[in-house]
Amino acid sequence: MGLVEQVELRFDPASRAAQTHTNLSALRQDETGLWVAGDETATIEHLAWTGERYDAQRTFVLADYLRLPAGPDDEADIEGLARADGHLWAVGSHSLKRRRVKSKDPAKAARRLATVVREENRFILARLPLDPVTNSPLPGSILSGADNIAARLRDDEHLAPFLALPGKDNGLDIEGIAVRGERVYLGLRGPVLRGWAVVLEARPVEAGQGRLRLREPLRKHFLDLGGLGVRDLCPYGNDLLLLTGPSMDLDGPVRVMRWRAGQDGGVVPADELETVAELPYGIGCDHPEGMAVLDDGRLMVVYDSPSPARTTPAGGVLADVFPIQP
């Protein structure tokens, strides 16, 4: 699959200061433009199509529409967006994080590597109705706190042992969401179990007072992705596309896989998955992180840690647009 074109996504000064444009993690198209999210804030952005680029940014602070467990200021680490039935969905990573090494002093470096942090705003699944006139979110519902997805896995025979591990250490790390009817699919970057990735299937329903609850236990799908984890999900007709990449802090490889009849199959071997594309990636930069199927059937991909060649003087970043072979 060859590169068709690059399209600019232009951000306002506030988002550039927050580095949202260099930390893009989620992407969905609508009738007027794109919904995007970065993983370092607690906001969702909408960019309108101008005929030349995506611009005219509107920023929506999640705490204005949801009761976030840690309040409005802590990042939510939004890793996936979905649109379905007049609603916008967002999911946090549900992951722990290990401190980065910032010192050459061995003792300080060792202490930081021993420090694991839990941030409660990461542990959310949210559904926001969209105003049909303004295309803006309205107050929505959230699954968080004691009912969050990770909490539902604490006795799971496959995934419970990984809940205490940071996401970058092959711990639990939700990085994609796709919604089809009542079914909400959550793609896990980690853990990867002996080469098998995991997609969770949830059926959340309204619980009143701005809350969601799960109507049924989580269902697990195991997919043989050759050792890669899921970095994003999106519907493609009756199928699901999976953006796959390393579960840990590595650059590549990165592939787009098609899971045909994605609603079925608890264990999906490699021969039931189709490689749609091998995506480009950089060394220490240009990590494919979010994707969306456009109205014309092509695939748009946005990148975390964009290289200088992918940034524009006007404060934008370049997304790649590829064809998808039927």
Q: Which amino acid is at 267?
A: V
Per residue in 244-291, pLDDT (tens digit) is 999 887 788 999 999 986 556 689 999 999 999 899 888 989 999 999
Q: Output the CA–CA distances (angstroms, integers) from residue 25 to 209, 226, 231, 269, 305, in the order listed.
A: 29, 23, 9, 27, 10
> Do 59 and 131 meet the contact criterion of CB atoms below 8 Å apart?
no
Arithmetic mean of pLDDT, 309-326: 90
Nearest residue to 229 (alpha-carbon basis) of 196, 171, 198, 189: 189
pLDDT at 272: 92
Give the whole-angstrom CA distance, residue 109 versus residue 104. 7
Give the whole-angstrom CA distance, residue 176 versus residue 106. 36
Q: Kindly tell me the sign of the dihedral angle through the C-alpha atoms of 250, 293, 190, 213.
A: positive
| pLDDT higher than threshold 80 for residue 4 | no
Predicted confidence band at 3 (pLDDT cuts at 50, 70, 90)? low
The bridge status of strand 316-322 relative to strand 299-304 is antiparallel
pLDDT at 56: 94
Arithmetic mean of pLDDT, 10-28: 90
Arithmetic mean of pLDDT, 46-67: 96
> Do 225 and 273 meet the contact criterion of CB atoms below 8 Å apart?
yes
SS3 44: strand
Indicate the burial class of 267 (C-beta count within 10 angstroms; 0-12, 13-18, 19 or more): exposed
Helix residue ranges, H only, 105-262: 106-113
CATH class of 5-322: mainly beta
Per residue in 135-179, pLDDT (tens digit) is 999 999 999 999 999 999 999 999 999 999 999 899 999 999 999
Whether omega before 72 lies within 30 degrees of 0, making that bond cis, reads no
Give the whole-angstrom CA distance, residue 140 versus residue 137. 8
| pLDDT > 90: percent of the chain | 75
Determine the Cα angle at 94 with ends 291 and 235, to 5°: 30
pLDDT at 245: 93
57-65 long-range Cβ contacts below 8 angstroms, 24+ apart? 57/10, 57/11, 57/12, 57/15, 58/136, 59/12, 59/14, 59/15, 60/136, 60/137, 62/90, 62/126, 65/128, 65/137, 65/138, 65/139, 65/140
Arithmetic mean of pLDDT, 35-44: 91
Q: For residue 13, give the H/E element and its range.
A: helix 13-17
Give the whole-angstrom CA distance, residue 32 versus residue 35. 10
- The pLDDT mean for the chain works out to 92
Q: Which amino acid is at 228?
A: L
| 96-100, 132-136, 297-301: least confidently modelled range | 96-100
Phi, psi of 96 (to 5 degrees): -85, 160
Which tokens sit at 308? 């200088």
Kindly list the domain boundaries of the chain, sorted by start residue.
Answer: 5-322
Determine the Cα angle at 69 with ends 133 and 147, to 5°: 95
